[in-house]
Structure 1
Amino acid sequence: MQDVTASLPIAELGLDTRTRNVLIGAGFSTVGDVLAAIEEEGDNALTNIKGFGPKSLTDLKGRLEEHGFHLPDAAEAGAPRVAKALEEEAMLAATLLAEDADIALEAALEEKSPEPAAPIAAEEPKAAAPVAAPPAPKVESLDEPLSFSQRLRATFAHLRRQPGSGAWVYGMIGLLVIVALMLPPISLLRRLGIVGYTTISAENNSASHPDGLTISVDAETFDDKLRVRLDSAPREVFLMGDAGSALKKAVEALPAYLEVKSPLYQIQTRGNVEQPVTIDVLMPNGAEPWETLDLYTWSGESWEWVGSDLHTEMAEHEHISAHVTDVPDNIVVVQVGTVTQTVSTFLEPGDNPAAAAGMLDEINPTGLLLGLEGGFVGDPTGLLQPVEGDAYDVLPTLRNWAPGAAVNHGLLSDLLTVPEIQKAHIAHIVQLCTESGFAGADVDYRGVEFNERDAYSDFIGALADALHAEGLRLTVVVESAAPTNGGWDTGGYDWAALGAAADAVKVPFPDDPAAYVETGAAQRLLDWATAQVSRRKLRMLVSSLSAERSSAGIDHISLEQALAPFGEIVALSNVAQVEPGSQVMFGFSGQLLSITPQENAGAYRLEYEVGDGEIHSVWLGTASSLALKLNWARRYHLGGVAVADVLAAGNAAGIADAVTGYRNGIASPAGQEMNIVWTISNAEAGVGQQSSPLTEPDYVWTVAVATGTYTVSAAIAGFDHGAVPVSVGAPEPEVTEVVTATGDLDASAPAAAASAVTDECLDASYVADVTVPDNQQFDNKEAFVKTWRVRNTGTCDWPEDTVIAFSEGSQMGAPESVQVGALGSGAETDVSVDMEAPADAGRYSGIWRMQTAGG
Structure 2
Amino acid sequence: MEDKGPFNRILQSEPLKDRDRAAVVIVVLGIVLGLVLLILVLPPVSIFSNDDSGEPTGPVSGQILDDMPAPPAGFEAVSPLIELASAEPVGPNVHPRLTVNLSVAVSDNELVVLYTYDGDSWRRLGEAVPLADGNAVQAEVTVLPPNVAAFRPVEQTRIILGTLPDGSSLDPNALAGLTTLNIQGLRPGADGSLIGSVPANDLGVPVAPTILAASSADAQTMNSILASPELSAAHVQALLDLATNGSYAGIDLDYRTIDAGNEEAFTSFLQSLASGLRREGRTLTLTLPLPIRDGGGWNTQNVDWEAIAPLVTAIKLPPVVEQDRYFIEMEEALSFLTSRVASSKLLLTIDPFSHERGVDGLQSYTLIEALGVASTPVTRPSGSIATGETLVALGLNLSGDTGASGLIWDDTARAVTFSYTGPGGARVVWLANAFSEAFKLDLARRFQLGGVSVRDVSQASEDAGIWPVVLEYAETGAVTLVKPNGALLTPRWEVSGGALESTAGPVVTWRAPDEPGTYVLTLIVSDGLTHVGQELSVPVQPRLAVAP
- TM above 0.5, yes or no, is yes
Q: 1:566 to 1:310 in 2, by over 3 A?
A: closer
Name the stretch that deviates more: 571-580 or 653-662: 571-580
Indicate the residue corresponding to 2:331 in structure 1. 523
Indicate the residue corresponding to 2:537 in structure 1. 724
Indicate the residue corresponding to 1:453 in structure 2. 263
Q: 1:453 to 1:733 in 2, by over 3 A?
A: same
Provide the secondary structure at the position in 2 that maps to 1:646: coil
Q: Indicate yes or no: 2:457 matched with 1:646.
A: yes
Indicate the residue corresponding to 2:197 in structure 1. 379
Aligned residues of 1:282 and 1:318 also touching (Cα < 8 A):
no
Which among 612, 620, 623 is matched to residue 431 of structure 2?
Answer: 620
Q: Deviations over 1:162-200 (max 9, x none)?
A: xxxxxxxxxxxxxxxxxxxxxxxxxxxxxxxxxxxxxxx
Aligned residues of 1:496 and 1:533 also touching (Cα < 8 A):
yes
Q: How many Å apart are 1:531 and its aligned residue?
A: 1.4
More strand by percentage: 2
Amino acid in the other structure paired with 2:33: D
Where does 1:279-428 land on structure 2 (aligned, <5 Å)?
Answer: 284-286=100-102, 292-294=113-115, 306-310=122-126, 333-348=150-165, 349-380=167-198, 382-384=199-201, 390=204, 392-401=205-214, 405-428=215-238
Aligned residues of 2:500 and 2:509 also touching (Cα < 8 A):
no
Aligned residues of 1:367 and 1:383 also touching (Cα < 8 A):
no
Name the stretch that deviates more: 479-488 or 409-418: 479-488
Rounded to whole Å, the distance in 2 between the matches of 1:13 and 1:441 is 51
Amino acid in the other structure paired with 2:421: Y
More helix by percentage: 1
Aligned residues of 1:626 and 1:655 also touching (Cα < 8 A):
yes
Indicate the residue corresponding to 2:351 in structure 1. 543
Indicate the residue corresponding to 1:680 in structure 2. 495
Indicate the residue corresponding to 2:242 in structure 1. 432
Residue identity over aligned pairs, in percent, reads 22
Provide the secondary structure at the position in 1 that maps to 2:163: strand
Amino acid in the other structure paired with 2:122: V
Which among 482, 499, 506 is matched to residue 670 of structure 1?
Answer: 482
Q: 1:589 to 1:311 in 2, by over 3 A?
A: closer
Q: How many Å apart are 1:364 and its aligned residue?
A: 0.3
Aligned residues of 1:541 and 1:643 also touching (Cα < 8 A):
yes
Aligned residues of 1:515 and 1:521 also touching (Cα < 8 A):
yes
Rounded to whole Å, the distance in 1 between the matches of 2:270 and 2:153 is 27
Unaligned runs of 5+ in 2: 1-25, 44-59, 84-95, 129-137
Q: How many Å apart are 1:358 and its aligned residue?
A: 1.0
Rounded to whole Å, the distance in 2 between the matches of 1:282 and 1:530 is 20
Q: Indicate yes or no: 2:66 matched with 1:232.
A: yes
Name the stretch that deviates more: 435-444 or 473-482: 473-482
Indicate the residue corresponding to 1:260 in structure 2. 77
Where does 1:502-651 land on structure 2 (aligned, <5 Å)?
Answer: 502-515=312-325, 520-550=328-358, 553-563=361-371, 565-566=373-374, 568-573=376-381, 576-580=384-388, 583-588=390-395, 593-595=403-405, 597-600=408-411, 601-610=414-423, 613=424, 615-649=426-460, 651=462
Rounded to whole Å, the distance in 2 between the matches of 1:615 and 1:406 is 30
Q: How many Å apart are 1:343 and its aligned residue?
A: 1.5
Where does 1:122-161 land on structure 2 (aligned, <5 Å)?
Answer: none
Amino acid in the other structure paired with 2:351: S
TM-score by length of 2: 0.72
Q: How many Å apart are 1:626 and its aligned residue?
A: 1.4
Q: 1:377 to 1:12 in 2, by over 3 A?
A: closer
Aligned residues of 1:297 and 1:305 also touching (Cα < 8 A):
yes
- After superposition, the CA RMSD in angstroms is 4.2
Indicate the residue corresponding to 1:94 in structure 2. none
Q: 1:500 to 1:281 in 2, by over 3 A?
A: farther
Q: How many Å apart are 1:442 and its aligned residue?
A: 0.7
Answer with 1 or 2: which has the greater Rg. 1
Q: How many Å apart are 1:307 and its aligned residue?
A: 4.1
Aligned residues of 1:477 and 1:507 also touching (Cα < 8 A):
yes
Indicate the residue corresponding to 1:124 in structure 2. none
Q: Indicate yes or no: 2:274 matched with 1:464.
A: yes
Q: How many Å apart are 1:563 and its aligned residue?
A: 4.2
Amino acid in the other structure paired with 1:649: A
Indicate the residue corresponding to 1:784 in structure 2. none
Q: How many Å apart are 1:507 and its aligned residue?
A: 0.7
Where does 1:101-120 land on structure 2 (aligned, <5 Å)?
Answer: none
Q: Deviations over 1:125-176 (max 9, x none)?
A: xxxxxxxxxxxxxxxxxxxxxxxxxxxxxxxxxxxxxxxxxxxxxxxxxxxx
Indicate the residue corresponding to 2:509 in structure 1. 700
Aligned residues of 1:365 and 1:383 also touching (Cα < 8 A):
no
Q: 1:371 to 1:256 in 2, by over 3 A?
A: closer
Provide the secondary structure at the position in 1 that maps to 2:356: strand
Amino acid in the other structure paired with 1:260: A
Amino acid in the other structure paired with 1:539: L
Aligned residues of 1:621 and 1:652 also touching (Cα < 8 A):
no
Q: 1:282 to 1:605 in 2, by over 3 A?
A: same
Indicate the residue corresponding to 2:521 in structure 1. 712
Q: Deviations over 1:85-107 (max 9, x none)?
A: xxxxxxxxxxxxxxxxxxxxxxx
Aligned residues of 2:212 and 2:255 also touching (Cα < 8 A):
yes
Q: How many Å apart are 1:420 and its aligned residue?
A: 1.2
Provide the secondary structure at the position in 2 that maps to 1:450: coil
Aligned residues of 1:211 and 1:232 also touching (Cα < 8 A):
no
Q: Deviations over 1:277-326 (max 9, x none)?
A: xxx9976335897773446799xxxxx9634444999969865579xxxx
Rounded to whole Å, the distance in 1 between the matches of 2:323 and 2:237 is 41
Provide the secondary structure at the position in 1 that maps to 2:242: helix
TM-score by length of 1: 0.48
Rounded to whole Å, the distance in 2 between the matches of 1:468 and 1:504 is 13
Provide the secondary structure at the position in 2 that maps to 1:408: helix
Q: 1:29 to 1:715 in 2, by over 3 A?
A: closer
